[in-house]
Chain A
Amino acid sequence: MIVHLSVLQVIIPLIAAPICLLLRKSELAWAFATLVAFMTLAVSVALLSQVMQSGPVSYELGGWEAPWGIEYRVDMLNAPLLVLISAISALALLASRTSIENEIPENRHTFFYIAWLLCMAGLLGITATGDAFNVFVFLEISSLATYTLIALGKDRRALWASFQYLVAGTIGATFILIGIGLMYVMTGTLNMADLAQRLPDVENTKTVFTAFAFLIVGVCMKLALFPLHLWLPNAYTFAPSIVTTFLAATATKVAVYVMIRFIFDVFGFEFSFTHFPLQEVLLTLGIAGIFVASVVAIYQDNLKRMLAYSSVAQVGYIMLGISFASQTGIMATLLHMLNHGLMKGALFLALAAVVYRMGIAQLSQMHGIASRMPLTMAAFLIGGLSLIGVPLTVGFISKWYLVSAALENGWWPVAAAILLGSLLSVVYIWRVIEVAYFKPVSESTPDVKEAPAALLIPMWILVLANLYFGIETSLTVGVSQMAAADLFGGLR
């Protein structure tokens, strides 16, 4: 079985989805989906340890060797991301049954779990594959499933948010497909490793330049780089809370991964940063994204929307790491991808608990809520501290490496901008803490109890992960360092 790990990772949830439809009963579907997610998590952990011990894993689907067939290729760059996706998915599914009770009508629950499994399989498939066209196929699966999940939100505006994302996402996916098609025209291959070998011969053509431009813009649409982020706040706000948790922690990270894979492995560092003003573009948009989105976040009353804007700002940090064009920079990016998944997972899960009890997540209704839901708000507090980047949390670790990468390049103003951005996040997190902890309970505060254990347990697992990986950094920093070294080792 050990040789099949990389494909099992994807086909277990993929085949489980239609089985869920056969089960029909929503309790059964939930139990089955959760079981499948934990199996997938076990596979991804085994896969990561295999990659750490014996290097990259390659798998020939259908037994056809690449480039004629499709190859799965798991290395230090994507193995940790696979663990993140399946871990968040498993924890969120554990909480999902309780969380969707009040948010999604009973007769849609089975379809919800099916769409969830499909979304998860799609994200895992994009991450595991070594074939450019296969990326697109699984992008379609995950996108369609995501639109469905968002549209299931309670508020009717969820339909509009889903439609907005559908239009933006389809444009993004089409651009990616155009990019892949143009690369195929010039090289005759779709396999990523093979593309990397054959692209240098034709890299001075207008066609390859166009392919790169379309691909990058398409991916930036999916990862919500400012100013292509307009679909994200509505989607995160109106989606069912547990869906927001899953998407915020994983979906944009997968898009960032695709971008890194194409920039560094397929096109190569030299082409990406010399033929194309990538550094300038990512640096400018990254910093603009951090400031604009953080400032907008400060003025939000709906906390889901506030964290959504915060996610746009975090994408800015992630892009900054790439724009440094250095090994430390890319390592900080990879680290922040994983760490940001942990923080946003914890934060949105805390909000899911708030929404479960209160029905809404409006700050103006939350005066003194910490006395009613102490564990939930403590989780939000720690998640928030991590988002700010306070020592002993994961946020501190990735900000630390990000700042040191900026200083390594001698970019003082950028380092200052990162710190200033963190100050802005102090402002929007503090607003919540102040209202929840220091305002007296008012009449408008609903009389609610602490969230049920089904939500608290996954939430606190994520919170503890935020602290654990903030102190014991050898695993996350280690894999990011190795992945960054691999990316720069492949330098042509």
Chain B
Amino acid sequence: MESFVHVVIILMLVTTAIAIVRVKDLFAVTMLAGIYGLLSASFFVLMDAHDVAFTEAAVGAGISTLLVLTTLSMTGRFEKASVKPQADYRPVLALVLVTVTGALLIYGTQDMPGFGTADAPVQTHVVPRYLNDSATEIGIPNVVASILASYRGYDTFGEVVVIFTAGIGVLAMVMSNATKMPVVQTALMSDHVVLRIVSKMLIPLIMLFALYVQFHGEYGPGGGFQAGVIFASAFILYAMLFGLTAARNVVNHTLVQLLSALGVLLYGSVGVVAMINGGNFLDYNFLSDDPVAGQMLGILLVELGVGITVASVMIIIFFTFTARSQKEGEAD
């Protein structure tokens, strides 16, 4: 039965992907991409990768769809079909390359250990220690959170910096001209009364849920990345319905920028404090007299840093795009 569900979901994924390639209406493409994200998330659930599924649902189906829609409000809804194909337009070559790549990938899967087999190298080498000892070494039940935030916490630090870099990239390219311009009052969907009332009820709940995801990451699927994204979507929803000015009254642009830096700094300073206390960078054992308490404190703080940076960068991207499109007078 399960393999039947697998096949169905994979078929749906392939169909969605083909539809994305063929459809010319960018609004539809965005929605299909959201569906693709949701299908992937379902597939990850079936593979028992709940943390990954949660992230994919929040990012792939959630915030990235929102951000692309914001972009579409600047670029227009339809692909500009070129009148005549360019001289170097060679779809055949591209098709051959993609086919070769795909064939090589399939070739590579042939000697892979079967999915979920107990004696596969991934199950027998480093993983046993994570599964058996993380409860005593780190003291939290969610092993995934232990690996992400502690055993491989430095990778996660790097990923937060990646998010921060993305925010800087958007600010550097789009924002800097738009900082001082007056913001137009209108909201993207100001005339939708039902939406406004429903969202007024929902936004506090979404934010509360984000906080739950943030602080529950040690016990179940969740953590800073998902929480940050959910928190930002609540904010973006508010801005879409009540206007950018109203949203900026809550958090102004400078403050969000500072917060995005502070999240990274919080993560980094946890590492530096561990160094000052005599440990290695990010060695949470040195944060407290009791190593396990130190680990829990460290994970709590770095997850908070992740959450703050992710939420602020998402809001920065939305703010800059919307501000720009309103400035050019083609939005709403």
Q: Which 9 A-B pairs have the closest CB atoms?
A: A210-B108, A188-B125, A63-B283, A188-B121, A111-B172, A18-B261, A137-B158, A205-B111, A148-B169
A69–B152 contact, CB under 8 A? yes
Q: Which residue of B lies closest to A178 (CB)?
A: B105
Contacts A21-B258, A22-B261, A137-B155; A14 near B268 (Cβ below 8 A) = yes
B110–A134 contact, CB under 8 A? no
Q: Does B129 contact A (CB under 8 A)?
A: yes
Instruction: State which of A39-47, A138-146, A288-296, A312-320 sits at the interface with chain B.
Output: A138-146
B173–A140 contact, CB under 8 A? no
Interchain CA distance A11-B165 in the complex, whole Å: 15
Residues of B near any A CB (own CB < 8 A) = 104-105, 107-113, 120-127, 129-130, 150-155, 158-159, 161-162, 164-166, 168-169, 171-173, 176-177, 179, 257-258, 260-262, 264-265, 268-269, 271-272, 274-275, 279-286
A selection of 28 A-B contacts at a CB cut-off of 8 Å is: A7-B280, A11-B268, A11-B271, A14-B161, A14-B268, A15-B269, A17-B161, A18-B264, A21-B168, A61-B153, A62-B150, A62-B280, A63-B274, A63-B279, A68-B130, A107-B179, A137-B155, A141-B158, A147-B169, A152-B173, A159-B173, A178-B105, A185-B122, A186-B121, A198-B125, A206-B107, A206-B108, A210-B107
Name the A residues within 8 Å of B260 (CB-CB).
Answer: 18, 21
B105–A134 contact, CB under 8 A? no
Name the A residues within 8 Å of B280 (CB-CB).
Answer: 4, 7, 59-63
How near does chain B come to A14, taking the closest CB pair, in angstroms? 6
8 A Cβ contacts from A148-182 to B? 148, 151-152, 159, 178, 182
Name the B residues within 8 Å of A108 (CB-CB).
Answer: 172, 176
Q: Does A213 contact B (CB under 8 A)?
A: yes
Range class of the A interface residue count: 35 or more
Interchain CA distance A187-B234 in the complex, whole Å: 42
How near does chain A come to B318, taking the closest CB pair, in angstroms? 18
Name the A residues within 8 Å of B279 (CB-CB).
Answer: 63
Q: Does A112 contact B (CB under 8 A)?
A: yes
Q: Which residue of A lies closest to B130 (CB)?
A: A68
How near does chain A come to B325, taking the closest CB pair, in angstroms? 17
Q: Which residue of B lies closest to A144 (CB)?
A: B165
8 A Cβ contacts from A109-146 to B? 111-112, 114-115, 118, 121, 125, 133-134, 137-138, 140-141, 144-145
A67–B281 contact, CB under 8 A? no
Interchain CA distance A11-B275 in the complex, whole Å: 12
Name the A residues within 8 Å of B284 (CB-CB).
Answer: 62
Name the B residues within 8 Å of A32 (CB-CB).
Answer: none
Interchain CA distance A105-B174 in the complex, whole Å: 12
Contact among A19, A63, A70, A207 with B285 in the assembled complex (CB-CB below 8 Å): A63
B177–A107 contact, CB under 8 A? yes
Contacts A4-B275, A186-B112, A207-B110; A15 near B265 (Cβ below 8 A) = yes
Q: Which residue of B lies closest to A166 (CB)?
A: B169
Contact among A141, A186, A202 with B165 in the assembled complex (CB-CB below 8 Å): A141
Contact among A22, A111, A118, A210 with B176 in the assembled complex (CB-CB below 8 Å): A111
Identify which of A121, A151, A206 gathers the most chain B CB atoms within 10 Å of its CB. A206
Residues of A near any B CB (own CB < 8 A) = 4, 7, 11, 14-15, 17-19, 21-22, 59-64, 67-70, 105, 107-108, 111-112, 114-115, 118, 121, 125, 133-134, 137-138, 140-141, 144-145, 147-148, 151-152, 159, 178, 182, 184-189, 198, 202, 205-211, 213-214
Interchain CA distance A151-B105 in the complex, whole Å: 33
Contacts A134-B155, A144-B162; A198 near B121 (Cβ below 8 A) = yes
Q: Which residue of B lies closest to A61 (CB)?
A: B154
Interchain CA distance A419-B304 in the complex, whole Å: 58
Name the B residues within 8 Å of A205 (CB-CB).
Answer: 111
Identify which of B121, B158, B268 gathers the most chain A CB atoms within 10 Å of its CB. B158
Interchain CA distance A134-B124 in the complex, whole Å: 22
How near does chain B come to A357, taking the closest CB pair, in angstroms? 25
How near does chain A come to B330, taking the closest CB pair, in angstroms? 19
Q: Which residue of A lies closest to B125 (CB)?
A: A188
B165–A62 contact, CB under 8 A? no
How near does chain A come to B270, taking the closest CB pair, in angstroms? 11
Name the A residues within 8 Å of B123 (CB-CB).
Answer: 188
Contacts A62-B282, A70-B152, A188-B122; A118 near B168 (Cβ below 8 A) = yes
Contacts A105-B176, A111-B176, A206-B110; A188 near B120 (Cβ below 8 A) = yes
Contact among A19, A125, A189 with B265 in the assembled complex (CB-CB below 8 Å): A19
How near does chain B come to A227, taking the closest CB pair, in angstroms? 12
Q: Which residue of A lies closest to B104 (CB)?
A: A210
Identify which of B112, B122, B124, B162 gathers the most chain A CB atoms within 10 Å of its CB. B162
Name the A residues within 8 Å of B120 (CB-CB).
Answer: 185, 188
Contact among A15, A207, A214 with B112 in the assembled complex (CB-CB below 8 Å): A207
Name the B residues within 8 Å of A61 (CB-CB).
Answer: 153-154, 280-282
